[in-house]
Structure 1
Amino acid sequence: MADRVPLVDYLVLSEDPRLVARECERCAARFFDRRNACASCGATTFRGVDIPRTGTLVTYTIVSVAPPGVAVPFVAAVVDCGGTAVRGNLVNVAPDPGRLTPGMELRLTTVSVGTDGAGTEAVGYGFEPA
């Protein structure tokens, strides 16, 4: 099997892929990017926490204009995963407002972003209907 690398460092590729947030040890605010200090309280210590793999659609937009090479239309969304807001694209669902409903159940999935000349696959994440 070819090597696989996550597109973002908070995506853990395993038999059961998952997202890991950085949680402030003082106020429990969660972030997916690297932080030197908490944007909510200023604390400087964090712990990694697994984010639930399922959630509900909070809001979305259908993107119809994107840079060259990015297929449109696609659905960009905010998903509530056990109280943590996660931004990601919806996959395996038509970009049609008639098929997208706030509150719909979703689950985390991985998507191939591409493979380089050495055979290493870049893997991202998205959410699909549960």
Structure 2
Amino acid sequence: MAPTMEVRVAGQIPFVDYLVLDDDEPHLVAQECTKCGARFFDRRNACANCFATDFTTTPIAREGTVRAFTIVAFAAPGIPVPFVAAVVDCDGTQVRANLINVEPDAEHVRDGMKVRLATYPIGTDSEGTQAIGFGFEPVS
């Protein structure tokens, strides 16, 4: 009888804790202060706005509007340039992220541009698990 081999299905993990991949539609979640409603990404011990210590997890809108951006022309070695770094207003929550799937020039990017959350693979480890990052892409 031939030995059996375990077949591992390659998985995906989010690059940041506030990116949720489990659902049909990936989305971001924020920690929302139960006292003042301020929202933060990543873990918090206290609210930077009112100093309260109770938070709930809140899903963030998948679509938003570019409120500010810069075209990055110089970066650390190994980082491809140019790229677009932006602040996206997602229904009142400000998200800092790169714009993807768009030409990084002033002809293609503008304040007020409608965008939606998009995910992409960043890399794969030796066991086949993909790290998944996020950015925002123009809404067609």
Is TM > 0.5 for Structure 1 vs Structure 2? yes
TM-score by length of 2: 0.90
Q: Is 1:25 equivalent to 2:28 in the alignment? A: no
Query: If you compute each CA radius of gyration, which structure gives the higher value, 1 or 2?
Result: 2
Kindly report which structure 2 residues correspond to 1:58-69, keeping only aligned pairs within 5 A, or say none.
58-69=67-78
Q: Which runs of 5+ in 2 are unaligned?
A: 1-8
Q: Distance between the aligned counterparts of 1:90 and 1:126, measured in 2? A: 6
Summarize deviations over 1:31-78 as a string: whole Å, max 9, x none. Answer: 002110000000000000000000000010111111122111100000
Matched residue SS, 1:15: coil
Cα drift, residue 99 of structure 1: 1.1
Q: Is 1:6 equivalent to 2:14 in the alignment? A: yes
Matched residue SS, 1:97: coil
Alignment partner for residue 43 of structure 1, among 45, 52, 63? 52
Cα drift, residue 86 of structure 1: 0.4
Matched residue SS, 1:23: strand
2:96 is matched with 87
Q: Distance between the aligned counterparts of 1:23 and 1:70, measured in 2? A: 33
In the comparison of the two structures, how many residue pairs are matched?
Answer: 130
Q: Distance between the aligned counterparts of 1:111 and 1:62, measured in 2? A: 20
Alignment partner for residue 103 of structure 1, among 112, 115, 127? 112
Q: Distance between the aligned counterparts of 2:42 and 2:124, measured in 1? A: 24
Q: Distance between the aligned counterparts of 2:123 and 2:92, measured in 1? A: 31
Cα RMSD for the two superposed structures = 0.8
Q: Distance between the aligned counterparts of 1:105 and 1:9, measured in 2? A: 25
List 4+ stretches of structure 1 deviating above 3 A.
none
Letter paired with 1:100: V
Q: Distance between the aligned counterparts of 2:10 and 2:137, measured in 1? A: 25
Letter paired with 2:94: A
Q: Which runs of 5+ in 1 are unaligned?
A: none
Q: Which stretch of structure 1 is more off in the superposition, 62-71 or 103-112?
A: 62-71
